[in-house]
Amino acid sequence: MQRGLFVTLEGVEGAGKSTLMAYIAEIFTDADNKVIQTREPGGTQTGEQIRAILLDKNNVGVIDDTELMLMFAARAQHINEIIKPALASSKVVICDRFTDASYAYQGGGRGIDPARIEILEDWVQQGLKPDLTILFDLDVETGLRRAGNRSEVDRFEQEEISFFERIRSCYLERAKNEPERFRIIDSSQSFDNVKQQIQDILKDYL
């Protein structure tokens, strides 16, 4: 049986990836694919409980190493419970954030050595990588303003702007280093323009 397609969506806060996830799923569904939509951290009962810990703005004492290992603990559960079985069934898995987010947030943002993140990646994922990563790129100030308008800020969103600038730089650097996997969307454009960019990217995967 042919392996399914693994698509991940990445970007800074407020870039629109979560909003556009349903649209991306619709495109694949209309092309007669079975689609699973999921997210990180989360996606499973255990993962969602870990997510609640990570996003709770009252958890000010969580150290960077704990944050990183919790992310990969949730990811291990997610991969084995949701992602691998879906791919084995030839489904399209669309995931809101994956390991690139760990490199961007815990690596770029927190300053954790990428080599340490890579050790966890190799251990937990055992070679699993996305087939396509769509990076929704947007200037940080605009993204944070959008995020603030939609809901109360979480533990990450209350960080300084410089934290998110480092995250954005890390994302763009990873996209530059893996052009065969990454596709960048300019999220500063109109909603219709962004949807057109998505259509242009996905036509090669349908």
pLDDT at 70 over 60: yes
Place of tokens 């990450």: 156
Rounded Cα gap, residues 77 and 72, in angstroms: 9
Q: How confident is the model at residue 1 (pLDDT cuts 50, 70, 90)?
A: very low
Instruction: Give the model confidence (pLDDT) of 17-69 as tens digits.
Output: 988 999 999 999 999 999 999 999 999 999 999 999 999 989 989 999 999 99
Q: Is the predicted pLDDT of residue 139 greater than 60, yes or no? A: yes
Tell me what pLDDT residue 2 has.
66
Query: What is the pLDDT at residue 95?
Result: 98
Asked whether 57 and 2 are in contact (CB, 8 A), the reply is no
Residue 83 has pLDDT above 80, yes or no: yes
Q: For residues 133 and 174, what is the distance between their CA atoms, to the nearest angstrom? A: 11
Write out pLDDT tens, residues 159-181.
Answer: 889 999 999 999 999 999 999 99
Q: Residue 117: phi, psi to the nearest 5? A: -65, -40
Q: Which residue has the higher pLDDT, 16 or 195?
A: 195
Average pLDDT taken over every residue of the chain: 94
The pLDDT of residue 135 is above 80: yes
Q: What is the mean pLDDT of residues 182-190?
A: 95
Measure the CA angle with vertex 172, ends 56 and 132; round to 5°.
85
Domains belonging to the chain, first-starting first, are 5-202 (3.40.50.300)
Q: Is the pTM of this model over 0.85?
A: yes
Three-state SS at 138 = coil
